[in-house]
Structure 1
Amino acid sequence: MKALAPGTVIFHRYRGYGVITAVNLLTGWISARFGNEARTLDLNLSSDEVQFADGEAILFRRAPPDRMPHARLMAVVRELHRAGYQKLYLYSWPKPSGLHWRWHLFTGPRDWMQRSWREGWYGSGADYIFNPVMGWGDQPGASTEELVHALARFDPQGLAQALGRDEDHSAWFAQVCDALLPGYMYSLDMARAPGAPLTEMPPVPVVPVRANLKPYSGPTIAWPPGWAGLWSQPHILPPATQSVPTAG
């Protein structure tokens, strides 16, 4: 994916070669100069057939982006499970405001409440809608394969911890992906009324990741293996490690 920014040389079949002076990727409009230093021309990337200088078409995605990255993350996790990295888990839950959803990938032991944290392996939909990347050096709109390679380059040591077998979880995850993708995500949040006890094994919440999608009406999603009873335990972050200097 080439960069599209002011200074990029482009080609237009009626105007010839020009230089971009302004870009608005939110609307898909650019301004460009074609031989006249004092005059710019506004072009729409969706309809004006603008190309890079080497002839590659510049395509603008008209469809609105996902509000949340969870479906893309689910596809990444499923591919890594197929490749033998089955000790990789995706936890998702809403922010306290309920307006956005958080996500967290973790590796190693399957401990949902005391899961380990690695920098860059978690995020929020509140950030994603303005900058739709995962934070691994990936690009907006990257394919599942590209996201997998970006994660592997970003933290190969962390990904190595996911190498191993967890067949019951990977089978559960594959079934969930088949039922939900590409339009829906699961949440491991256990909603309850204030002061009320947690319900024993309620249905797993399912949430659409795109606007204008109907509420999920597919098969009931089971909780992940090893989850029974875990929601009654508090999630306590592990204490920060401190190094104490010693006299030499």
Structure 2
Amino acid sequence: MSKSFMAGEALYRAFRGQGRVLVDVQALEHSILSGEAGSALYRLMSESADYNTDGKAIALYQRALAGWVLQGGSGGEEAAVVAPLPISLQPPTDSALRRAGRLLAMVHELHKAGYQRLRISAGMSPTGMHWRCHITSADNVQLDGWDLVQWGEEVVTYSSADDHYFGWQDSAGKSARQLAQLFIERFPELARKGVGQDRAYAGWFVSMLGNAENGRFPVFFADYLLSPTEEEMPPPPCGYRHAWSAVDGRVANADLRLEHLPPPEARWDELEVFCLTYDGYAGGQKSISQCMAQAAQVASSRLAEASLDDLRTTLFIRQRDIRNNHPIPPSDDDLRLMHAIVEQIRSRLSRG
């Protein structure tokens, strides 16, 4: 991959992490006229001429291109100023959006009252038509900060397809504060588990709520590929880094040690963290389809014959596929394959 490509993509990630940025159009125009941005873009296009052109490659190319353009509009600084959100003066005209926003506001009211260990797990229905939001306590949340450990009475769910919150026929017209009071009364055990301070999560929630009031609702799961930024994802419970941001926790094959591996027959949340210690895309040099083909080859052959890259790429792409397209926890067949791969890696590391 070219240096211009990698630099542009890194710039884009830096800007994207801020959510919104202010672009100095005069600085951008100066960059255009002076040829500074143009030279970088020309190098990017020239060096990427022979790059593969599947959907993922095109997306990466667009990110790199956007990075150089945004850099030109930031006056040459490393990062542009974060743009504040506009104050939301009117509720959405769409009734489903109003109800969804009021639900999030209800959780915010509960946080203000001292129930900061209540968390949400929000995403899209399989059809992509409706927004869903599960509410649970922090001790029922996995390392990624939002995925649920188990279902049952510890989880209550709202869908934008519903006309009433949680099936409450008397919830129509209730304010966020009134809904919060009903939540405490009608879900006493969950409310009890939600008591306590979690300032990191409550602070993240306020920022997320501002985005939601401007039409950007949180989506942690969907039947399509998600690429959340660090800022869009909630902080994990118990001080863990969340699994989606394993970039800083990646371990190269040459540095892999036994202590990096999850235990035998590890739970899904333990497996998932290890899966994300490796970048199967190789910094964008491999597409999703190439990774899937590599994983299919591993699954259909003897694991002992697969390379370490093959094994870890299989774990990586299976995690991405399961996370975005399948129920959690994964099927027994998926877990069996992943456990077998981990044990194959463990055997190799043990032999030195």
TM-score, length-scaled by structure 2: 0.37
- Aligned-partner residue type, residue 170 of structure 1: A
Work out the percentage of aligned pairs sharing the same amino acid.
26
CA distance in 1 between partners of 2:119 and 2:169 (Å): 21
Change over 3 Å in CA distance of 1:88–1:116 after alignment to 2: farther
1:144 paired residue number: 176
Query: Is 1:77 aligned with 2:111?
Result: no
| Equivalent pair of 2:121/2:147 in contact (CA under 8 Å) | no
CA distance in 2 between partners of 1:67 and 1:180 (Å): 9
Query: Is 1:223 aligned with 2:233?
Result: yes
SS of residue in 1 equivalent to 2:179:
helix
- Structure 1 residues 134-143 or 114-123, which shifts more? 114-123
1:90 paired residue number: 120
CA distance in 1 between partners of 2:190 and 2:228 (Å): 32
Q: Deviation string for 1:177-233 (max 9, x for gaps)?
A: 12322644211126646xxxxx7xx236xxxxxxxxxxxxxxx95211123337747
Question: Post-superposition shift, 1:106?
Answer: 0.6
Change over 3 Å in CA distance of 1:161–1:116 after alignment to 2: farther
CA distance in 2 between partners of 1:153 and 1:117 (Å): 21
| Equivalent pair of 1:107/1:162 in contact (CA under 8 Å) | yes
Alignment partner of 1:114 out of 148, 151, 170 = 148
- Aligned-partner residue type, residue 122 of structure 1: T
Q: Deviation string for 1:100-153 (max 9, x for gaps)?
A: 122200114132333343447113222x1xx23333464212101110111111
Change over 3 Å in CA distance of 1:190–1:77 after alignment to 2: same
Query: Is 1:135 aligned with 2:161?
Result: no
CA distance in 2 between partners of 1:188 and 1:181 (Å): 17
Gaps of 5+ in 2: 1-92, 237-241, 245-268, 273-318, 331-352
Question: Post-superposition shift, 1:98?
Answer: 1.1
CA distance in 2 between partners of 1:182 and 1:71 (Å): 10
CA distance in 2 between partners of 1:64 and 1:93 (Å): 18
TM-score, length-scaled by structure 1: 0.51
CA distance in 2 between partners of 1:96 and 1:73 (Å): 21
- Aligned-partner residue type, residue 124 of structure 2: P
1:174 paired residue number: 206
Query: Is 1:236 aligned with 2:329?
Result: yes
Gaps of 5+ in 1: 1-62, 194-198, 205-219, 238-248
CA distance in 2 between partners of 1:182 and 1:142 (Å): 21
1:102 paired residue number: 132
SS of residue in 2 equivalent to 1:84:
coil
CA distance in 2 between partners of 1:64 and 1:186 (Å): 17
SS of residue in 2 equivalent to 1:69:
helix
- Aligned-partner residue type, residue 87 of structure 1: R
- Aligned-partner residue type, residue 172 of structure 1: W
Alignment partner of 2:159 out of 117, 124, 128 = 124
CA distance in 2 between partners of 1:183 and 1:222 (Å): 14
CA distance in 1 between partners of 2:120 and 2:235 (Å): 13
1:9-28 alignment runs, 5 A limit: none
2:228 paired residue number: 203
Change over 3 Å in CA distance of 1:181–1:64 after alignment to 2: closer
